[in-house]
Amino acid sequence: MTDQSVSRPRRRGPRAALASAAVVALAAGTALLFASAASAATTLGASAAERGRYFGAAIAANKLSESTYVNIVNREFNSVTPENEMKIDATEPQQNQFTFGNADRIVNHAISQGMAVRGHTLAWHSQQPGWMQSMEGSALRQAMLNHVTQVATYYRGKIDSWDVVNEAFDDGNSGARRNSNLQRTGNDWIEAAFRAARAADPGAKLCYNDYNIDNWSWAKTQAAYNLVRDFKQRGVPIDCVGLQSHFNSGSPYPSNYRTTLSSFAALGVDVQITELDIEGASANTYRSVVADCLAVARCNGITVWGVRDCDSWRSSQNPLLFDCSGNKKPAYDAVLAELNSGAPPPTTAPPTTAPPTTAPPPTTAPPPTTAPPPTTAPPTTAPPTTPPPGGGGCSAAVYQLDQWPGGFVANVRVTAGSSATNAWAVTMTLPSGAAVTNAWNSQASGSTGTVRFTNAPWNGRINAGQSTTFGFQGTGTGSGMTPSCSAS
């Protein structure tokens, strides 16, 4: 597939837009009729969206032609992660020869359905193509940075969150870095990858992603925590941490999981559960994971690693929410019920103060028995029937993604201030001669001069400190625009 085929973000499908509007209207009506019932959303994505979050799945391009599979994907999820299609061996099989065909299939499908895309993954010791596996030193460092730059640039504007670096820490009790060819290029390789990713796609959230960083008392968790803390203190660009959360008998769901989520969040990053699967798919364990995420304001999304049990990389463990025939399992019902019982997003801002300077607990200490910090405590009062007004304002930043003689494409990231928004508007004065021809994930009023973009029905709600993006295409040039944002 050529670059041209994905170089313009597509408008969100009208069917999906109507469905979202209907869900919002239905949910609002339901809340008014049954003040004590938080929600009656009937799909995972719709329920998560009501709480300012996403619920996603890892999907495979070669299954998009299976109707049972694709029906579940389209119905249930509002985010997807390519399970293998964006990995280094898939996107750069020969050095400097990039292939995006299968990844594009997933990205284009997601965009047509109005779903977010998690990019997975730019730099990793595993699933490297042969040419990279045999590289070392500065040549490898350059090749890795080139890969990050090329792939993140190609998908600029289409990725909600990138797993920039995956699985850089060792298992076991050392807390050391994994000994990989990438690590041997120098301890600063992770930082270099994040800086390159930010430069290539300034609108995407940049995540560090790993497994076995779920248990707060494990050395590997502390090592990842210290990396994020160090990056935040030194201003290295990082926006999120991904906890893969593959739970099984060797690495079970830990009772201190909520402490881990809230501790990462307190560093000032989003927390995402990126590859959730649970051996045996205990409904109670799934329910606990969802409850823990909902209790932490900056836990902004959950992705299950596959759709049906037979799609799973660990299919013998039956770890997912749908059986091999596509039927909902008890774990599905538990997840949906837990999502629906969740309170609306907290309206207070996540902590913006400097991260704690005290050392984290020793890695051998038993899990903390105290309640999680107040910023993450689940609300105990019944959710209000209407969302509280968002008085904390918002900010907006515009990124020109593409330009050509006579036209341009721009993305705008809207970030809520100290309280959640229920609705927002961004105004921007276009350069003379420029005109908006098309907008997605927002509604434009006016096309020349000062244009006002208001939220679409499904993205007015933004949690405090979190963000959403919309885009538009125009004629003329789009340089030098200064957006201003207002929220209610």
Active site residues: 167, 275
Closer to ligand XIL by Cβ: residue 87 or 287: 87
Q: Establish if 248 lies at the interface with ligand XIL (CB under 6 A).
A: no
Alpha carbon of residue 464 to chain centroid: 16
> What's the CA gap between 276 and 104, in Å, rounded?
24
Residues between 294 and 333 that touch ligand XIL (CB under 6 A): 313
Site string for ligand XIL, 192-221 (x = CB under 6 A): ------------------------------
Q: Residues near 272 by Cβ (< 8 Å), separated by ≥ 6?
A: 118, 161, 207, 240, 241, 242, 243, 299, 300, 301, 302, 303
x-marked contacts with ligand XIL along 54-83 as a string, rule CB under 6 A: -----------------------------x
Can you list the alpha helix ranges (DSSP code H) found in 100-136? 101-112, 130-133
Smallest separation, CB 279 to ligand XIL (Å): 14
d(CA 272, CA 279): 20
Q: Work out the number of other CB atoms within 10 angstroms of the CB of residue 77.
A: 26
Query: Of residues 7, 68, 84, 363, which one binds ligand XIL by CB under 6 A?
Result: 84
CA angle 46, 47, 48 (to 5 degrees): 95
CB of 161 to ligand XIL, least distance (A): 14
Cβ 366 to ligand XIL, closest distance in Å?
28
> If you search the block for the tokens 């921007």, which residue do you land on?
428
Contact assessment for residue 430 and residue 478, using Cβ atoms and an 8 Å cutoff:
yes
Smaller CB separation from ligand XIL, 79 or 244:
244
65: left (phi over 0), alpha (psi -120 to 50) or beta: alpha
Residues 275-294, mask of contacts with ligand XIL (x by CB under 6 A): x-------------------
- H or E segment to which residue 76 belongs: helix 67-76
Measured from the CB atom, the residue of 113 and 244 that comes closer to ligand XIL is 244
Nearer to ligand XIL, 43 or 317 (CB): 317
Q: Which one of 91, 102, 150, 166 is in contact with ligand XIL (CB under 6 A)?
A: 166
φ, ψ of residue 129 to 5 degrees: the values are: -65, 160
Q: What are phi and psi of 224, to 5 degrees?
A: -65, -40
DSSP code string of 261-286: HHHHHTTT-EEEEEEEEETT--HHHH
Select 124 or 194, whichever has its Cβ closest to ligand XIL: 124
Decide whether 157 or 319 has the Cβ nearer to ligand XIL: 319
Q: How many CB atoms lie within 10 A of CB 73?
A: 23
For the bound state, the minimum distance from the C-beta of residue 245 to ligand XIL, rounded and expressed in Å, comes to: 10
What whole-number distance in Å separates Cα of residue 54 and Cα of residue 78? 6
Task: Give the Cα separation of 265 and 355 in Å (integer).
Answer: 10
Kindly state the smallest distance separating residue 167's Cβ from ligand XIL, in Å.
Answer: 6
In 155-307, alpha helices (H):
189-200, 219-234, 257-265, 283-294
CB of 209 to ligand XIL, least distance (A): 6
Least separation in angstroms between CB 172 and ligand XIL: 17
Which residue's CB is nearer to ligand XIL, number 166 or number 259?
Answer: 166
Q: Site size for ligand XIL, by CB under 6 A?
A: 6
Asked if 347 interacts with ligand XIL (CB under 6 A), we say no
Contact 328, 321 (CB under 8 A): yes
Q: Does 244 bind ligand XIL (CB under 6 A)?
A: yes
Closest distance of CB 408 from ligand XIL, Å? 35
Residue whose beta carbon is closest to ligand XIL: 313
Instruction: Give CA angle at 263 (260, 268), nearest 5°.
Output: 135
Q: Please give the Cα distance from 445 to 422 (Å, whole number).
A: 19
Beta carbons of 223 and 256 less than 8 angstroms apart:
no
Least distance CB 244 / ligand XIL (angstroms): 6
Residue 126 vs 233, nearer CB to ligand XIL? 126
Q: Which is nearer to ligand XIL, 84 or 363 (CB)?
A: 84
Interface residue list for ligand XIL (CB under 6 A):
83-84, 166, 244, 275, 313
